[in-house]
Amino acid sequence: MQLSLASQNGQAAREPGLETSPLAIRGLTVSYGEKPAVFSVDMTVVPGQMTAIIGPNGAGKSTLLKAALGIVPPVSGRVQVFGRPLDHQRGRIAYVPQRASVDWDFPTRVIDVVMMGLYRELGLLGRIRGTHRQIASDCLDRVGMSEFADRQIGQLSGGQQQRVFLARALAQGADLYLLDEPFAGVDAATEKAIIGVLKALRAEGKTVVVVHHDLATVRDYFDNVFLINTRKVAEGSVAEAFTPDTLQSAYGGRLATAQIDQIARPA
Amino acid sequence: MGSEFVTLSLTPLLIGIFAAVACALPGNFLLLRKQALIGDAISHVALPGIVVAFLLTGAISTWPMMLGAAGAAVVAVVMIEAIRRLGRIEPGAAMGVVFTTLFAAGVLLLEQSDTSSVHLDVEHALYGNLESLIWLDGTGWGSLLDPQALAYLPVELPRMAATLVVVAGFIALFWRPLKIATFDESFARTIGMRTDLLGLALVITAAIAAVAAFDAVGSIIVIAMFICPPAAARMMTNRLELQIAWSVAFATLSAIIGYVLAGYGPLWIGMGDAVSAAGMIATISGVILAIAAMFGPCRGRAGAPSGV
Amino acid sequence: MLIDALFLQMGYNATLVAIGAALLGAASGITGTFLFLRKRALVSDAVSHATLPGVCVAFLVLVALGGDGRNLAALLTGSAVSAGLGLLCMNWLTRNTRLAEDAAIGAVLSVFFGFGVVLLTVIQTLGVGRQAGLEGFLLGSTAGMLYTDALVIAGGGAAVLFLVLLTRRPMTMVAFDPEYAAARGLPVSKIDMLMMGLVMAVTVVGLKVVGLILIVALLIIPPVAARFWTERADQVVILAGVLGALAAYLGAAISASAPNLPTGPIIVLMSFALFALSLLVAPNRGVLAAVLRHQRFQRRLHMRQGLLALAQDQTIYEPLTLRLLSRAGLVRADGVATRSGQARAAKALRDERRWDILRRDQAQEAAAALYDGLREIETVLTPDQIAAIDREIGTPKEAF
């Protein structure tokens, strides 16, 4: 188990990982009001693998992701994406927000939402060509939603909405995918479809980071875990870092010992 | 419908239509961003802006006044944001604090300054004076080709047309970012969009439309057109592109029917004089909204099943 | 002049106006608080604009019946009816269509007001001068307040206050947490209606004093100002009443002290002054307090992060952290820890270890939840408990 308590408050290019990692976070502190939600966190995402960010409710999982993406401002700390500052690398990141974060009554169709993923390519006035339409419909196909292309987004089920968001991220053609609770409140078919797509991305060499809440599936789905409870508790491969000991540290009294043993023992 | 129409009704009607459409266009986005009442706030704070411009320049001239009104709108938006953030107050209440205060300041300034001798009063600001924007040199359809007559078009007409072009241009140019940032702001931020600047630009565009329309047709149309046509359009379709088209149609329809009813309606029921065109246009837009709300094909919330 | 006015020495009429305005201010501040806590402050905007057609219709009816149309009670009844109609439309739109409340508010206020303007022009055509009394409803006019007007205001204000006194508990509960109130079996929609009814009453009563546009200010600004001073709903209600009364009283007095100072706008500007004061200097929620607190917070945070970095021999690059550490005498100019710096750093690291043990302890879940990186462990545990944890850690060296 690694225990990194504080971090380097600044750049250190020599440090292993910072130059090559798809997402390297150093000394990140984020605070809503006077209580830090994330305190002095370091994270180094392993390229080409799938990483789960796990921790109890209110542990700062989503906040960590949002601060990494510049959606919420940090109090201190820095973020590098593929060795460069975030703003230079926007095109290489795709973000899938929590489903509840948008108004699904918005007047738009499924295919229009997927097309939003092509914005960086199209720009303000770039003409939408057949190739763009092809990309969008391919992405919808990959998440199994082709038949819904012309539906209004409010008419979809929760799982279908989540898949549309994933399709939009696919359309971005990124190298790093960040997903915030994609499996929350979705049906079994959707969960299966999403994890299938994510594993396919990994097979293409892409990096995937997922805020995840279901401890039971961590072993099946992910290569690495990042345990957080306000500060980092553990980081590493599932075998090293997803243990009864680290879970106890992250969850404390919130998980019974029996549960922890059951979850964390390799099958 | 000949020469008399061209002289008396053509220009007010066109000005009414341009003003209605110029307000309805940004109104669509304000509505979807749950900022519908920004239009209300802007039109209230235009009053102090105009009064201050008058006090500074000492004359009733269009450009300083429009600048004053636009400046007041920006001041109001900044104040609302500041109060909302600094005081951690919900946006509706912050808006209420700001626009009532600025409006009160405007009324006070108006009373303090001796403007009674000139044409600047609260009622004009509220109702505008659409009916008076006639084209005396327009003696018939032929005048539309007569450069001499065209030179004497009421100045509000080209100004309103230009405003409409600016507003429509902004919406067309920033169509994609507006749509993306309105639907999913955090996604927009992750792809590097400056959503804060975009939001400010939208409000300023709305303010430009409001101020230009305010001068010609009064604030009451402005508030109604920001909200009613887009709201009615919302009941008609589930696609943003079509919603915009519907809102333009509804705004145009309100302006035409409202203007005609205000001018000729009283005569039809045997009353002597015309009634306020601005008020009537607002009323008609409300009637259209009521009809759309009762019968529109997409009036209900899209049944988004929550959870599974 | 101003001193005279403040102490009611300006004669009968000015005194009447000041007292009437203060009552109205109290009533609107108190009523507005429930609206504000319910996050529906701008509903008052719709209500007030929706009064206009009612006033005009009442006027037309009075004229048709042969009167001169200046009966205040009748005009106010008319305004109440149309405001009520406006509220019904608003509720219907939000319940039965996809429109959000802000859009419904805007639609109702603009359409009702527009229709009112149409009726105003109808009234104008009936004969010049006959609509004289109606302009006051737009912007208010207290200069010509009659004894009967003051009576209406005093009576209306007192009635509103009495009703609020009776129903304050359920209204507070609904304003604060409607779902909980519903779960407790309160008739939320009826209480909402009562709330709106009270707002309507205040609006109608206030129309004559400050006019329909500025009454909104009296319903919104005092509650927002009061909110800065306290976290308790009942105190917000009372304070909003006091601030509203104060603003109205001061406004009326100032306006009586000089010509060309219309009462309505002055009252609104007074409330804004009280609001601005609250925004700036209120303890806890005020801007000054928040800025100071945030700076202190940031210093504590950087200190802590700096100490932990020192303890683990990591280089500190962030300038603010370095500056804070050296100012406290914990590092030298070259970034190396001083003796006291080393001690503090070791303590910080040890505290993190203690927290780590604490957070693993299932029996200490409540205490563990207080961890945020800054909280001193001594504030959570007794010395004995800390000593017990230290035994578990062992000596600091063994921890690595």
pLDDT tens per residue across span B99-150: 999 988 988 887 777 655 444 555 666 667 777 787 877 777 777 777 887 8
pLDDT at C30: 92
CA B50 – CA B59 distance, rounded (Å): 11
Residue C92 has pLDDT above 90, yes or no: yes
pLDDT tier, C280 (very low <50, low <70, confident <90, very high otherwise) = very high
Selected for mutation to probe chain C from B97, B112, B131, B295 (highest C CB count within 10 Å) is: B97
* Domain CATH number, residue B12: 1.10.3470.10
Amino acid at A79: V
CA C294 – CA C311 distance, rounded (Å): 26
DSSP for A146-164, please give it: GGGTTSBGGGS-HHHHHHH
Higher pLDDT, C377 or B2: C377
Q: Kindly indicate whether the domain formed by C2-260 is annotated with CATH number 1.10.3470.10.
A: yes
Residue A40 has pLDDT above 50, yes or no: yes
Phi/psi-derived region of residue A31, left when phi > 0, alpha when psi is between -120 and 50, beta in every other case: beta
Q: Does A12 touch chain C (CB under 8 A)?
A: yes
| Paired tokens of B84 | 């909302």
Higher pLDDT, A68 or A254: A68
Residue B129 within any structural domain of the chain: no
C-alpha distances in angstroms, C279 versus B83, B90, B291?
8, 14, 44
Residue B135 within any structural domain of the chain: no
Chain A residues in contact with C371 (beta carbon < 8 A): 229-230
Residue B239 within any structural domain of the chain: yes
CA B159 – CA B66 distance, rounded (Å): 11
Domains of chain C, by residue range, sit at: 2-260, 288-399
CB atoms within 10 A of CB B34: 16
pLDDT per residue as tens digits for the range A132-171: 999 999 999 999 999 999 999 988 999 999 999 999 999 9
Beta strands in B54-148 (DSSP E): none
Selected for mutation to probe chain A from C292, C294, C301, C315 (highest A CB count within 10 Å) is: C301
Asked whether B18 and B161 are in contact (CB, 8 A), the reply is yes
**Residue among C291, C167, C303 nearest C237 (CA):** C167
DSSP β-ladder status, A76-81 and A84-85: antiparallel
DSSP for A198-262, please give it: HHHHHHTT-EEEEE---GGGHHHH-SEEEEEESEEEEEEEHHHHSSHHHHHHHHGGGS-HHHHHH
Contact A109 B239 (CB under 8 A): yes
Q: Does A40 touch chain B (CB under 8 A)?
A: no
Nearest residue of B to residue C259, measured between CA atoms: B112
- C383, with CB counted inside 10 A (0-12, 13-18, 19+), is exposed
Asked whether C236 and B120 are in contact (CB, 8 A), the reply is no
Q: Which chains touch A (3 or more CB pairs under 8 A)?
A: B, C
Residue A14 has pLDDT above 60, yes or no: no
Which of A6, A35, A230 is closest, CB to CB, to C305? A6
- A120, with CB counted inside 10 A (0-12, 13-18, 19+), is middle
pLDDT tier, A267 (very low <50, low <70, confident <90, very high otherwise) = low
CB atoms within 10 A of CB A141: 14
C-alpha distances in angstroms, A143 versus A32, A136, B167, C261?
35, 11, 39, 68
**Residue among A266, A223, A263, A230 nearest A247 (CA):** A263
Contact C224 B93 (CB under 8 A): yes
Contact B44 C213 (CB under 8 A): yes
Residue C72 has pLDDT above 90, yes or no: no
pLDDT tier, B303 (very low <50, low <70, confident <90, very high otherwise) = low
Higher pLDDT, A232 or B264: A232
* Span A120-141, average pLDDT: 90
The answer to whether the complex's ipTM is over 0.85 is: yes
Q: Which chains touch B (3 or more CB pairs under 8 A)?
A: A, C
| Distance from the Cα of residue C196 to its chain's centroid | 17
pLDDT at B265: 79
Chain A residues in contact with B179 (beta carbon < 8 A): 108, 112, 116
| Paired tokens of A190 | 């959707």
Contact A105 C360 (CB under 8 A): no
Which of B32, B173, B187 is closest, CB to CB, to A106? B32
Which of B174, B234, B308 is closest, CB to CB, to A124? B174
Nearest residue of C to residue B288, measured between CA atoms: C111
Higher pLDDT, C9 or C82: C82
Residue B149 within any structural domain of the chain: no
* Span B211-222, average pLDDT: 82
Q: Does B177 touch chain A (CB under 8 A)?
A: yes
The DSSP call for residue A96 is E
* Span B259-272, average pLDDT: 79
Residue B304 has pLDDT above 50, yes or no: no
User: What's the number of domains chain B is made of?
Assistant: 1
The DSSP call for residue B273 is S
Phi/psi-derived region of residue C272, left when phi > 0, alpha when psi is between -120 and 50, beta in every other case: alpha
pLDDT tier, A203 (very low <50, low <70, confident <90, very high otherwise) = very high
Selected for mutation to probe chain B from A92, A96, A108, A114 (highest B CB count within 10 Å) is: A108
Contact B305 A153 (CB under 8 A): no
Asked whether A59 and A229 are in contact (CB, 8 A), the reply is yes
C-alpha distances in angstroms, C95 versus B296, C90, C104, C376?
15, 9, 10, 50
Which of B176, B189, B237 is closest, CB to CB, to A122? B176
| Paired tokens of C54 | 């009612």
Which of B226, B273, B301 is closest, CB to CB, to C125? B273
Q: Which chains touch C (3 or more CB pairs under 8 A)?
A: A, B
Q: Does A192 touch chain B (CB under 8 A)?
A: no
Residue B176 has pLDDT above 90, yes or no: yes
Q: Does A243 touch chain C (CB under 8 A)?
A: no
| Helical packing angle, C101-125 and C51-64, nearest 10° | 30
CA C306 – CA C321 distance, rounded (Å): 6
Which of C103, C121, C265 is closest, CB to CB, to B36? C103
pLDDT tier, A13 (very low <50, low <70, confident <90, very high otherwise) = very low
Contact B34 C99 (CB under 8 A): no
Higher pLDDT, B73 or C316: B73
Chain C residues in contact with B303 (beta carbon < 8 A): none
Most confident of A59-73, B1-15, C358-372: A59-73
Number of H helices, E strands in chain B: 14, 0
Chain A residues in contact with B180 (beta carbon < 8 A): 116, 119
Q: Which domains does chain A have, with CATH numbers?
A: 23-250 (3.40.50.300)
| Distance from the Cα of residue B251 to its chain's centroid | 10
CA B255 – CA A176 distance, rounded (Å): 52
CA A245 – CA A249 distance, rounded (Å): 6
Residue B74 within any structural domain of the chain: yes
pLDDT at C108: 95
Chain C residues in contact with A40 (beta carbon < 8 A): 304-305, 308, 373
Chain A residues in contact with B192 (beta carbon < 8 A): 87, 90, 120
Which of C97, C99, C117 is closest, CB to CB, to B276? C117
Give the structural domain span for B222. Answer: 3-123+155-294
Chain B residues in contact with C112 (beta carbon < 8 A): 286
